[in-house]
Structure 1
């Protein structure tokens, strides 16, 4: 599981001579660092593209190669740190094509703007995002063959361990999210996690006994029912647990890991099934964050995660709309649409976490999922955060929003409203909650907010609001719009969200 080794140097002048190129990132219409200003000025005299688009220049710098990676303006109201990640990534691709193996990354012109307080770190992660190659490609062709940049120097006052820990988590998240449905079928997803957390302080428990799953995760097993005919597609729940030595708070995650989503009996048609091997992005992101936790080993933050890893198959055994299924919480769930399957397994996972929460200090619950097309429509490339009352009272959404802004993994907040709870209210006494309507979320009003109401009821979290004796903060995190680059779920590179957002909020001092 290699990625470029990171080295931090205080300044360009103190860097050693082993680097074979410099990648210069910033607004080239502003004041340039003096070490590079003359080279850029001379190059501009013969090529007006310099400073306007990424280029490789011959210059008296490390390796004789200066790669200019312009960001354009950074001071406008709508500018944010992602522009720096994008520019660093473009520069990295040029470096790789040029045969560079050890570039030095220099970011300039951001010191006076709080939006860019983590600019150098974000630039490194943007470089790694651009250079990442899929797991299937690495296994077929060899990592060393296709990921040829081995070391990256970063100029700044940074913690190399922190940079590496976050990128390690992001790589796990990309691998788990982006890998095709047979290579990352549920048992192999679990196997990857076991290998990723071997010899770390994270305990991995895989629950794959079918009878136990049927008893303890009935909604999850309804989704998995049609997959039981094929042993290599059998479902599992993966529990990841890190116990901090002096825990002051506990993060508890439920991750949606639909390794392939056919839509079930409400079959996806019209080409909409392509890309549904990425419907495990929520579980992937949680596992990635847990990898960063394993590397950082925080003293005061414990983390518990349950990942529901399931294939939503079609067949004679498939569950269907109108079924009423009793959840782990005891709540009777009427199925509205089998393509709204992710919220079912999340409800069982959250119910387990709800029961366990009393055993941990200051528990905070999160569900992470590629849940709704509506989130992608309403929020575009941003993660949607939907907090409950106790989470609002504790400012959890603000903490995540602020971290996302500065660490380049941005989110936007949506509110849970009474209309959402009315939408999923039972129509008869035969059931307690409706899982969904029978239309696509993207064309349903409040299509990414009402699922949070369903999760609250189906997981029993409605008994833990601000009006209860034991309130539990809970934030639903929908990454359907932010989980892959460009919104292309079949071909887009997984973004590894929300690893950086959570790591910045809870792990970085």
Structure 2
């Protein structure tokens, strides 16, 4: 038994015996068509599964016989379609299973992980689901700590002693990054306003391998990041809402080992009112989540800091801004000279994501010219058109020419399938770039048309920052 040092509110232990002392429940995620591999657990549960047919699809709690632990939280996935269901079913069931255990007053759960032939990453995905189910939003932790999970420790058991430790460490590393992303992404517009994000990120990466730099001076923003500054203009008159561009950089200890450089730009719109083209009809609610691209970038850098890869250099930019309404806000028809020198005509102030990322992406492009094997990514909450195209719960990946040659989108797609974080692939076509060509004499770029992306053909492919720098 090993206690894993962590930043959780409970202790985490690796266990090598399913019948170990110190736990008040075993939590088990089951595939209906998958026989329980642990013989002792299988025998103990068989009679209950015969007596209660609902256990094929509903979570049940019943006593265990022959175990030191007295009860089992049995969490079945329900029937799975062999052609279309994916590993998300395991993750979703794990979240529900651990939350059901908490409701039943379980304080010391032992999670039992089993391999499933259909899903090679099943154990990792289940454990990530368990940890997700135990996550408490940052504002609940700060404002109502009495609502924290009351568990005292979490045990993790697999039948393979040799891989338990590496599996647990991998899950905890990924979850640490996910927790950072959730804290920022799910924080409300005030708790995670740009200066508060700066404070949070600076605290996360103090005394770490990540170099931290922030740009907040309005004169620097106006001169070097004019598209960002346009969106920030209305919010800049309210000190607690003033925008920030946050740079994070990881360099391996030995620069000679670097084989590739990853550049990331995250969209961090802490609240999107739509600006002068205000969101109406109740669709403004939820726009505090428009910073999830930058949140994902911060979470990724947390994982980089924990893993400390020796062959990759990573440079990340978080464009943190509030798209506010007011007499000082930017409006359609403005012509703004971007960092790249391109003249950009504003078509709709609710297309602010490309505005706040474009100058930062241009800066990354400048750095990439001297970098080893560079790869540039923008990470953003997508448009209403993307939601209509692929539905909730999916990300979209789009390659430019070099990324397509490198097979980037397919690699992300395959990784997402394995871990239950699915991507759909969209293609950027010539029409998408032609759509953004300047229409007035002297204009280089048209930011967008005057319609919402959800009412624009190929709306999410057209809404691309690649058209601006």
Instruction: Give TM class, smaller chain.
Output: over 0.9
Match of 1:492 in 2: none
Query: Is 1:98 the equivalent of 2:99?
Result: no
Q: Aligned to 1:446, which of 458, 461, 464?
A: 458
**Secondary structure class of the residue paired with 1:146:** coil
Pair 1:427 & 2:439 matched: yes
Can you list the C-alpha shifts for 1:161-191, whole angstroms capped at 9, x where unaligned? 2211110000000000011111111000010
Structure with more contact order per residue of length (Cα contacts < 8 Å, sep ≥ 6): 1
Q: Distance in 1 between matches of 2:351 and 2:150?
A: 38
Task: List aligned pairs for 1:273-312, cutoff 5 A.
Answer: 273-312=284-323
Deviation at 1:47, TM superposition (A): 2.4
TM-superposed deviation, 1:141: 1.8
Q: CA deviation at 1:4?
A: 5.5
TM-score by length of 2: 0.92
Cross-structure match for 2:51:
46
Match of 1:185 among 184, 189, 193: 193
* Post-superposition offset of 1:11: 5.9
1:456 is matched with 466
Equivalent residue number for residue 507 of structure 1? none
Contact 1:102/1:153 (CA < 8 Å) preserved in 2? Answer: no
Shift of 1:436: 1.0
Q: SS where residue 315 of structure 1 aligns?
A: coil
Alpha-carbon distance between aligned partners in 1 of 2:58 and 2:339, rounded to the nearest angstrom = 55
**Is it true that 1:207 corresponds to 2:219 in the alignment?**
no
Residue in 2 aligned with 1:413? 425
Aligned equivalents of 1:63, 1:37: Cα separation in 2:
15
Alignment partner of 1:50: what SS? Answer: helix
Task: Report the alpha carbon displacement of residue 278 of structure 1 after superposing the two structures with TM.
Answer: 1.0
How far apart, in 2, do the equivalents of 1:139 and 1:189 lie?
15
Identify if the C-alpha distance between structure 1 residues 421 and 145 changes in structure 2 by more than 3 Å, giving closer, same or farther.
closer
* CA spacing shift, 1:257–1:3, aligned 2, 3 Å: farther
What does residue 463 of structure 1 align with?
none
Question: Kindly tell me: are residues 440 and 41 of structure 1, through their superposed partners in 2, closer, same or farther at Cα, counting changes over 3 Å?
Answer: same
- CA drift of 1:359 comes to 3.1
Output one character per residue of 1:108-148: Cα deviation in whole Å (capped at 9) or x when no partner. 461x22xx111111111111222222111110122783363
1:164 maps to: 172
Which of 141, 144, 149 is the matching residue for 1:146?
Answer: 149
Q: 2:128 aligns with which of 122, 125, 129?
A: 125
- Please give the residue correspondences for 1:69-468 in structure 2 after superposition, counting only pairs within 5 Å: 69-74=75-80, 76-108=82-114, 110=116, 112-113=117-118, 116-142=119-145, 145-146=148-149, 148=151, 150-155=153-158, 156=160, 157-158=163-164, 159=166, 160-245=168-253, 246-380=257-391, 381-452=393-464, 455-459=465-469
CA shift, 1:73, in A, is 4.1
Q: Relative to structure 1, is the Cα distance of residues 102 and 302 closer, same or farther in structure 2, using a 3 angstrom cutoff?
A: farther
Q: 1:11 to 1:295 in 2, by over 3 A?
A: same
Classify 1:417/1:133 alpha carbon distance in 2 versus 1 (closer, same or farther; 3 Å). same
Report deviation, 1:271.
1.1
Distance 2:265 2:124 in 1: 28
Q: How many residues align?
A: 452
Q: Are the aligned partners of 2:384 and 2:453 in contact in 1 as well (CA < 8 Å)? A: yes
Superposition pairs of residues 12-27 of structure 1, within 5 angstroms: 12=18, 16-27=20-31
Gapped regions of structure 2 (runs ≥ 5): 1-6
Q: Distance in 2 between matches of 1:282 and 1:352?
A: 18
Distance 2:75 2:278 in 1: 45
Q: What is the TM-score when the length of structure 1 is the normalising length?
A: 0.85
Please give the secondary structure, in 2, of the residue aligned with 1:311. Answer: strand
Cα root mean square deviation, aligned: 1.8
Cα gap change, 1:319 to 1:142, in 2 (>3 Å): same
CA deviations on 1:262-301 (whole Å, 9 max, x unpaired) are 1100011111111111110100011011111111111112
Q: Which runs of 5+ in 1 are unaligned?
A: 460-509
CA distance in 2 between counterparts of 1:186 and 1:398 reads 34
Q: Kindly indicate whether the alpha-carbon contact (under 8 Å) linking 1:5 and 1:164 is maintained by their aligned counterparts in 2.
A: no
Hey, which bits of structure 1, 4+ residues long, moved more than 6 A? none
Q: Secondary structure at the match of 1:309?
A: strand
Is the alpha carbon distance of 1:3 and 1:347 closer, same or farther for their aligned partners in structure 2, counting shifts above 3 Å?
farther
CA distance in 2, matches of 1:173, 1:62: 38
Change (3 A) 1:49 1:389: same
- The secondary structure found in structure 1 opposite 2:314 is strand
Per-residue deviation, 1:38: 2.3
Give the conservation status (yes or no) of the 8 Å contact 2:109–2:153.
no
Residues 62 and 412 of structure 1, relative CA distance in 2, 3 Å threshold: farther
Task: Find the counterpart in structure 1 of residue 3 from structure 2.
Answer: none
CA contact (8 A) 1:172 1:284 kept: yes
Check conservation: 1:420, 1:449, Cα contact below 8 A.
yes
